[in-house]
Amino acid sequence: MDSVANGGVAVDVAAEVARYMALPYRIELIPGETAWVVSIPNLPGCLSQGRTPEDALERIKEAQELWIEGAIRDGLPIPTPSGEKV
């Protein structure tokens, strides 16, 4: 089990990432001149791009997973889709 101490409590990183990935975060998909830009507004800085909308939506899932994992490892709060902290 890959775990980190968060507030003195061991946290299973993979399980926490999976829990947050299952939440219904709003995704914004914006067409650009040569690519589609995609972001998750509740997760500041979580964005990606792709040549097609489908490509961009696939890539944002990886960016979301990395964003959430980094926040867990750094002990940072992770906004939920409703804006509440978990």
With 60 as the cut, is the pLDDT of residue 84 above it? Answer: no
Kindly state the percentage of the chain with pLDDT values over 70: 86
Amino acid at 10: A
- Tens digit of each residue's pLDDT (9 = 90 or more) over 51-78: 999 999 999 999 999 999 999 999 999 9
Q: SS3 of 14, please?
A: helix
Rounded Cα–Cα distance for residues 6 and 13 (Å): 10
Mean pLDDT across the chain: 90
**Least reliable range by pLDDT among 2-6, 11-15, 28-32:** 2-6
Domain 3-74 has CATH 3.30.160: yes
Rounded Cα–Cα distance for residues 6 and 14 (Å): 14
pTM as predicted = 0.84
Q: What are phi and psi of 3, to 5 degrees?
A: -135, 160
Does residue 60 contact residue 40 with C-beta atoms inside 8 Å? yes
Does residue 38 contact residue 27 with C-beta atoms inside 8 Å? yes
pLDDT at 86: 53
pLDDT at 2: 72
Does residue 18 contact residue 27 with C-beta atoms inside 8 Å? no
- What residues does each domain of the chain span? 3-74
